């Protein structure tokens, strides 16, 4: 097929926090605009109870924050590989299988891409993390199978997969003028994925790149995990996390952990959860924190608080601190969250990331000094402590920043053109 002909297939990067669609077209941007001229569609669905309809992306977040009655669901990709995927959830008063929820959102991606492209897409290359599930091959394969099933259900006739960091590598390769040994560091919302790849201007046209992929690896750690730790260490103590019971024991933490985890926030609003909290209030020495917790739950402000924490994480990539005002919970209540606190909170997670990079290089039989370039991509790849930690391991490597949200989608589009024409 001529290089001047638009590709038949698209590439979809269904992300934990943001999603994109790429399509190779001569003389045009690879990434397709999905919402308000932007290439990303936040992976969010809001079921608007008043108007009985689902809303997606930024508009979903806007309607939720404006106070519309309904249910907000985010971090949908985290369902893949979890036990929840086989169950239902309550949506607009009816039971909806979680698989159908995924189909709803990925189907919206397909519909918006086709509307912008002015044509249908029957073939797709889907991005996937190196590991949906750590250390469980069967669960990992089941997660991929579920995603393929969903893609076929929404109308794709041909479905294939590419590792997300490999897709990012192909995007970077399109800019090269000489051969390089490249470590791709892809830190997304749910996973940290790594690939050691040999790239060059000549190799980019090869159909079979198996020998150029020296090793792949990763861990189930991403931006939502960093959010969770920042929330637990910096915010949840205001709501009773770490409080002592009269017996001397610590207050049970399940409610705080659920509030700090995007896809479990709704569970704290259940009658069972609130009754359990109420029964323990009288056994707590200082009830100030748990009383604030009741106010937060009464206002259903869990997602609002999670968004404040996420925004703080983003701000701390380029500032030393951010003040979070919580007057909606209690007049004058605020907390100053610092980069030092954040880095301390995620230190154990970053150690696992560094260990994964070490294991990857060992698998490839490569020395730390062999790596020419570190290519950073993914929404959480800008965290200074993460970058500095990886950089310190690779003394000879230069650092390149890809399109944080577009590199994977672009690489998947390149792969889609190769596979389907």
Does residue 215 lie in a domain region?
Answer: no
Does residue 255 lie in a domain region?
Answer: no
DSSP count for the chain of H helices, then E strands: 13, 17
Does residue 239 lie in a domain region?
Answer: no
Question: How many degrees, rounded to 5, is the angle at CA 81 between CA 64 and CA 86?
Answer: 75
Does residue 198 lie in a domain region?
Answer: no
Does residue 320 lie in a domain region?
Answer: no
Say whether pLDDT at 2 is over 60: no
Does residue 411 lie in a domain region?
Answer: yes
CA 312 to chain centroid, in Å, comes to 16
SS (H, E, C) 53-70: EEEEHHHHHHHHHCCCCE
Does residue 115 lie in a domain region?
Answer: yes
Write down the pLDDT at residue 370.
Answer: 96
Whether residue 337 contacts residue 316, with contact meaning beta carbons closer than 8 Å, is answered with yes
Q: Tell me if the pTM is above 0.85.
A: no
Write down the pLDDT at residue 353.
Answer: 95
Write down the pLDDT at residue 3.
Answer: 52
Each residue's pLDDT tens digit, 51-108: 889 999 999 999 988 888 888 888 889 888 888 888 888 888 888 999 999 999 999 9
Q: Which helix (H) or strand (E) holds 101?
A: helix 98-117
Say whether pLDDT at 210 is over 60: yes
SS3 state of residue 216: strand
Average pLDDT over residues 98-126: 96
Domains held by the chain: number = 1
Write down the pLDDT at residue 340.
Answer: 97
Does residue 70 lie in a domain region?
Answer: yes
Residue range(s) defining the domain that contains residue 103: 10-177+403-420
Burial classification of residue 187, based on how many CB atoms lie within 10 Å of its CB (0-12 exposed, 13-18 middle, 19 or more buried): buried
Write down the pLDDT at residue 131.
Answer: 84
**Distance from C-alpha of 199 to C-alpha of 175, rounded to nearest angstrom:** 10
CATH of the domain at 166: 3.30.420.40
Res. 1 pLDDT band, cuts 50 70 90: very low
Q: Which two tokens stand for residue 394?
A: 């690779």
Q: Which two tokens stand for residue 199?
A: 């790239």
Residue 234 per-residue DSSP state: I
Q: Which helix (H) or strand (E) holds 170?
A: helix 164-173
**Distance from C-alpha of 298 to C-alpha of 292, rounded to nearest angstrom:** 10
Q: What share of the chain has pLDDT > 90, as a percent?
A: 70
């Amino acid at each position: 097929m001529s290089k001047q002909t638009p590709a038949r297939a698209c590439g979809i990067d269904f992300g934990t926090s943001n999603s994109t669609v790429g399509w190779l077209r001569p003389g045009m941007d690879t990434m397709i605009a999905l919402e308000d001229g932007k290439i990303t569609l936040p992976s969010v669905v809001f079921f608007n109870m008043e108007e009985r309809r689902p809303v997606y992306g930024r508009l979903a977040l806007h309607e939720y924050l404006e106070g519309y009655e309904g249910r907000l669901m985010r971090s949908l990709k985290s369902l893949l590989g979890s036990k929840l995927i086989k169950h239902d959830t309550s949506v607009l008063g009816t039971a909806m299988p979680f698989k159908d929820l995924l189909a709803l959102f990925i189907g919206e991606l397909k519909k918006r891409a086709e509307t912008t492209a002015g044509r249908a897409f029957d073939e797709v290359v889907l991005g996937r993390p190196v590991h949906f599930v750590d250390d469980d091959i069967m669960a990992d394969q089941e997660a991929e199978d579920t995603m393929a099933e969903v893609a076929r259900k929404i109308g794709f006739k041909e479905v294939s997969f590419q590792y997300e960091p490999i897709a990012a590598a192909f995007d970077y390769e399109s800019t090269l003028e000489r051969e390089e040994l490249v470590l791709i560091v892809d830190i997304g919302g749910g996973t940290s994925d790594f690939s050691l790849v040999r790239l060059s201007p000549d190799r980019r046209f090869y159909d079979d790149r198996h020998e150029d992929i020296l090793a792949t690896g990763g861990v189930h750690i991403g931006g939502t995990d960093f959010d969770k730790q920042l929330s637990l260490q910096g915010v949840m103590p205001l709501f009773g996390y770490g409080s002592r019971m009269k017996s001397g024991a610590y207050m049970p933490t399940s409610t705080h952990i659920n509030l700090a985890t995007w896809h479990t926030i709704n569970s704290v609003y259940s009658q069972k959860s609130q009754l359990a909290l109420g029964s323990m209030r009288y056994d707590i020495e200082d009830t100030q924190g748990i009383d604030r917790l009741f106010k937060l739950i009464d206002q259903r402000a869990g997602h609002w608080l999670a968004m404040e924490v996420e925004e703080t994480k983003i701000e701390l990539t380029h500032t030393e601190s951010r003040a979070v005002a919580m007057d909606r919970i209690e007049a004058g209540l605020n907390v100053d969250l610092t980069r030092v606190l954040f880095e301390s909170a995620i230190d154990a997670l970053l150690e696992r990331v560094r260990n994964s990079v070490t294991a990857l290089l060992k698998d490839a039989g490569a020395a730390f000094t062999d790596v020419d370039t570190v290519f950073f991509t993914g929404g959480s790849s800008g965290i200074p402590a993460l970058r500095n930690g990886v950089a310190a391991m690779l003394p000879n490597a230069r650092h390149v920043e890809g399109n944080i949200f577009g590199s994977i989608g672009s690489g998947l589009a390149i792969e889609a053109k190769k596979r389907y024409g």
